[in-house]
A and B are shown apart, each in its own frame.
Chain A
Amino acid sequence: MLTFMKFGVIIAFLFSLVSLSYLVLKTFSHEKKKLNAEPRGDWKKGIIYAFGKGMMPWEKESARNHLPTYIGGIFYHIGIFISLLYLLIVILAIQLPAAVILPVRVLSLAGAIAGLALLAKRIFSPVMRALSCPDDFAANIIVDIFLILSFLHTLLPAPSPVPVPVVTLFLFASAVIMFLYMPLGKIRHCFFFFYVRILFGIFYGRRGVFQNNFCHQGGKVFLIINFLVFLRALVP
């Protein structure tokens, strides 16, 4: 049964990978926009900004004003990443030392709590409800279940007293569902996120938008003011 489930996870993962790759290829089959205007700034600096300061709450108003959601989102995504690594370890039947298990346990739990909190926000906030479609709820629930099962799995004693713990089977089943759903719904954004950030960086970087902020004294002062505003937002 365990081997069968492991096999299922691998097949589902491959399905996901192939489907997402197809989707990416389809997306990339569209013509690339040619940029003829002479750049004013450096696109590379823009990309560095997009993946660095541009995501920080003292720089980004939406993150600053919605700190719980922002922090929840970070924990959610860290939890998912760690749980995926953990899944690989479980499939490969590698025994992790207790010192490593502990952070995995904490992060998968934190991810699960964050996921459930984001789900609650989507359910109870009228604005979020109005913005959402069934896919949003489904994607969240599927991933939350995977995170919860990852967390529960980390609680199993090692070596296991039973040959095939039921939690393991459920963890594999949830992974199968998650991988199968990935290319169909919004979880696919995990593939596109990085490309969008690159496009974001290129757009503003070429136009010299952020460059001004970091090259001139005024920009640095502004950054400090932003950081102070952010700190003030932390005080109730």
Chain B
Amino acid sequence: MNENETYVSKDPFDEKIEQLSPADREKALKVFAEKINREFAVYFNSCVHCGLCADSCHYYLTHQDIQSLPAYKLGLVIGIFKKYFSFMGKNMPGWVGAKSFDNRMVKEWVDSLYGRCSLCGRCSLNCSIGINIAALIRAARGALAAIGLVPPGLQSTIETAVEKGNNMGIKKDDWLETASWLEEELQTEIADPAARIPMDQKDARYFYTINPREAMFFPLSISAVAKLFHAAGESWTLAADSYDVTNYGLYSGDDETAGMLSDRLVQGMAKLGCKTLVLAECGHGFKSNRWEAPEWLSKKYGFEVKSILEVVAGFIREGRIKLDPAKNQEPVTLHDPCNLVRMGGIIEEQRFILRHAVSQFIEMIPNREKNFCCGGGGGQLAMTQFSQRRLKAGGVKAEQIRKTGAKIVATPCHNCIDQLMELNKHYQLDVKIKTVCELAADALVL
């Protein structure tokens, strides 16, 4: 399929859309209406169709089609608001761009709101008015989720997390075995039998969570963090059951499931009596558990929630660990994950760590909250039917990386790592991709 084409192939998911009944659509509209809070209602009345958000979006920059333009995607959502919830939209729909929520529109919602947006929020920063476009697109995704229209790959990731306790479906025994194997490796590597990867340690200060991909494919990133905790002499623990920092409910738009997944970490904290929930290098996991979960669960957390980057930067600042940048000689650049940086506020910590851990650190332009999305967010990595578009949209990031001339791309997010690895191959960037903690652990002076 040409990546510029609308997603039209006949598959069971498409047929499901075609067979939607008026009652299904009504249900979606009802859920959509429930999601309209004061903030959203204000946004719905504010887009002036100036089009200035266009080239802030990596989809538009790489595809140059109207469907990829943020204001167009937003217009699909606002059009429905106008049609069903505004005076002019009800009475003069054509005049104000109101749109009917028929099956064709549902299909376009799926195609554009799931398939052409990584919820990166870059357009919001550049919107003339300041509309939180990503939040509105996510709300519309939530309405689709209510009628079972989350694209299959994303939905199955969520189901696995709900049923198996983690998004990779790792069995408890396998997880415990992996952790114990990593502990042995760590002890051998640093020649210290006292080095530990604690599991279910009651009253530990830090309750550390991981992205299950680490246990499955990148165990060295767990060892890296363990090494840093050990060097700092910190009290910390992993959990046998609640350890998954990811939350794909953030991407499906289903607040209830998202809340349920995040609540597992809250329960884990309560069970072990830890003081601080520490989130692994995972952009969306950070955004979900630091910023969104207290809203999904309608409660204030009685404990601190931190990114591992804040913790490690703290170790360096307090002189509890010493890093030797000479141990990482190759030039390093940094990719800022949107959910952690632009929408999470963790901006300087990773830079502070890298400046202590590597000899040559080169910033991408633009960077920090203005950085471009790699294209892997928004559940794109799980939605295989949109993977060609995802790769093409990642072209902006590939170019940014190439221009730095760096040999290593550091990024504090495992989803970004997956996308960057694909971009590395696709665009022949010839770089290595590492987490920030991996580089810090490599530079550790023990």
| B97 at the binding interface (Cβ < 8 Å) | yes
Once bound together, how far apart are the Cα atoms of A40 and B38, in whole Å? 23
Tally A-B pairs: CB < 8 A. 170
Nearest-CB residue, chain B, relative to A207: B345
Once bound together, how far apart are the Cα atoms of A209 and B130, in whole Å? 15
In the assembled complex, the CB of A64 is this many whole angstroms from the nearest CB of chain B, namely 10
Nearest-CB residue, chain A, relative to B93: A133
Nearest-CB residue, chain A, relative to B131: A196
Indicate the size class of the contact surface on chain A.
Answer: 35 or more
B51 touches A127 (CB 8 A): yes
| A94 at the binding interface (Cβ < 8 Å) | no
| Residues in B whose Cβ lies below 8 Å from that of A192 | 42, 45-46, 129
Stretch at the interface among B201-209, B362-370, B409-417: B362-370
| Residues in A whose Cβ lies below 8 Å from that of B52 | 62-63, 66, 69-70
| B385 at the binding interface (Cβ < 8 Å) | no
| A8 at the binding interface (Cβ < 8 Å) | no
Once bound together, how far apart are the Cα atoms of A208 and B306, in whole Å? 13
Could you say which of B43, B45, B97, B127 has the most chain A C-beta atoms within 10 Å of its C-beta? B45
Contact mask B96-128 → A, CB, 8 Å, 1/0? 110000000000000000000000000011111
Contact mask A206-227 → B, CB, 8 Å, 1/0? 0111111100101100100100
Stretch at the interface among B170-178, B184-192, B288-296: B288-296
A199 touches B130 (CB 8 A): yes
Chain B residues bordering chain A, tally (CB within 8 A): 66
| A185 at the binding interface (Cβ < 8 Å) | yes
- A196/B345 contact (C-beta < 8 A), A38-B300, A130-B72, A209-B369 known: no
Could you say which of A35, A184, A199 has the most chain B C-beta atoms within 10 Å of its C-beta? A199
| B326 at the binding interface (Cβ < 8 Å) | no
- A130/B38 contact (C-beta < 8 A), A38-B300, A62-B53, A212-B348 known: no
Stretch at the interface among A24-32, A98-106, A156-164, A166-174: A24-32
Once bound together, how far apart are the Cα atoms of A63 and B347, in whole Å? 23
Once bound together, how far apart are the Cα atoms of A186 and B47, in whole Å? 8
Once bound together, how far apart are the Cα atoms of A66 and B321, in whole Å? 47
| Residues in B whose Cβ lies below 8 Å from that of A197 | 129-130
Could you say which of B127, B128, B292 has the most chain A C-beta atoms within 10 Å of its C-beta? B128
Point out the residue from A36, A60, A127, A213 that lies within 8 Å of B69, measured CB to CB. A127
| A33 at the binding interface (Cβ < 8 Å) | yes
| A131 at the binding interface (Cβ < 8 Å) | yes
- A34/B366 contact (C-beta < 8 A), A136-B49, A199-B130 known: no
Q: Which residues of chain B from 62 to 76 have any CB-CB distance to chain A below 8 Å in the complex?
A: 66, 69, 71-72, 75
A36 touches B42 (CB 8 A): no
Nearest-CB residue, chain B, relative to A229: B365
| A13 at the binding interface (Cβ < 8 Å) | no
Point out the residue from B95, B130, B369 that lies within 8 Å of A196, measured CB to CB. B130
Q: Is the interface of A mostly helix, strand, loop or mixed?
A: helix
Once bound together, how far apart are the Cα atoms of A192 and B96, in whole Å? 17
A131 touches B42 (CB 8 A): no
Nearest-CB residue, chain A, relative to B124: A200
Point out the residue from A65, A189, A229 that lies within 8 Å of B48, measured CB to CB. A189
In the assembled complex, the CB of A151 is this many whole angstroms from the nearest CB of chain B, namely 23
A135 touches B97 (CB 8 A): yes
Once bound together, how far apart are the Cα atoms of A152 and B35, in whole Å? 48
Once bound together, how far apart are the Cα atoms of A3 and B132, in whole Å? 45
| A71 at the binding interface (Cβ < 8 Å) | no
In the assembled complex, the CB of A72 is this many whole angstroms from the nearest CB of chain B, namely 10
| B446 at the binding interface (Cβ < 8 Å) | no
Besides the contacts A32-B38, A61-B370, what 7 more A-B pairs have beta carbons closer than 8 Å?
A30-B37, A69-B52, A133-B96, A135-B88, A189-B47, A192-B129, A196-B131
Using a CB–CB cutoff of 8 Å, the interface residues on chain B facing chain A are 36-43, 45-56, 66, 69, 71-72, 75, 88, 94-97, 124-132, 290-295, 297-301, 304-305, 341-345, 347-348, 351, 365-370
A-B contact pairs, 13 of them (CB 8 A): A30-B37, A35-B295, A62-B126, A63-B52, A128-B51, A135-B97, A185-B88, A186-B48, A199-B39, A199-B42, A199-B130, A203-B132, A208-B347
Q: Which 8 A-B pairs have the closest CB atoms?
A: A200-B130, A133-B97, A36-B294, A208-B345, A62-B126, A207-B345, A212-B347, A62-B52
